[in-house]
Amino acid sequence: MEERTRQPSIEELVTQHAQTVFRYAYRLSGSLVDAEDLTQETFLLAAKNLGQLVDPSRAQGWLLAITRNAFLRQRRLPQMALLDDMTGALDKSGIDPDAPDEEMIQLAMKSLSEDQRVMVLMFYFEDLSYKEIAEQLGIPIGTVMSRLARAKAALRKRLDALNKKVAPV
């Protein structure tokens, strides 16, 4: 007799995935404040649409997709421009030589466009294939590949520049 996988409750999803969603949201938005807003919004939306989670073993991917879509919707709103303005101070602020690599990569992520950031996170964080990215974003595979290659190159370039900037003299 085939046993159906039990649908997790929203509380279980929060307990198991909140921190992962938060880290994803932080990489996406570049701000801890926005990351928590986004995380809370993700779970509120998940609670409303729990019935759409057809395969509980893919709950994390489902939640990250909700986060990504919420981010893309929010980013279209003009009020978010302020945050972008604030991040403009990055280059002036100097870089902490003791900053861990994960912070360095956050700085590098901020230098990417939003589309590039989304693409990079779908590839690295969500571990989606080019085919899955194309399906989810509704764009041709060739476009995904060229955008992904450009985004990865831009990320590497920025990371190299940051590493040079903090290298001991």
Partner 1 sequence: MTSQPNFPKNEDLLESIRLDRDDPQDPYVQRLASILRESPGLAKRYADIRRQDVETGNLLRQGRDCLGLEERILARLSGSQQTKGDSVQTVLETPKAACAPAELRANSSEEVSQISTILGPQGSVRRRQWLRWLIGTATAGAVAGIGLWAWRTRKSTPQLSAGEFGSAVTELFEATLDGFGTGRDLAKESPAQGYRLSRDLRLFRGTVVTWRELVVLNHPVVAFDITHPGGEQGSLFATRWIIAGLPPIPPRQPCLRTSRSSAGWWQDNDLAYVLVVLGNSRVYQRFLTPPGPLT
**HEC string for 7-33:** CCCHHHHHHHHHHHHHHHHHHHHCCHH
**CA–CA dist 70, 76 (Å, integer):** 10
Contact region for partner 1 (CB under 8 A) — 45-53, 54-62, 160-168?
45-53
Contact region for partner 1 (CB under 8 A) — 39-47, 57-65, 160-168?
39-47
The yes or no reply on residue 19 touching partner 1 (CB under 8 A) is yes
Contact region for partner 1 (CB under 8 A) — 55-63, 149-157, 161-169?
149-157
- Of 100 and 168, which CB lies nearer to partner 1 in the complex structure? 100
14: its two tokens? 């929060």
Burial class (CB in 10 A: 0-12, 13-18, 19+), 71: buried
Segment 79-138, which members bind partner 1 (CB under 8 A)?
Answer: 79, 82, 86-90, 92-94, 96, 98-103, 105-107, 109-110, 120-121, 123-125, 127, 129-131
The yes or no reply on residue 45 touching partner 1 (CB under 8 A) is yes
**CA–CA dist 79, 83 (Å, integer):** 9
- Of 3 and 102, which CB lies nearer to partner 1 in the complex structure? 102
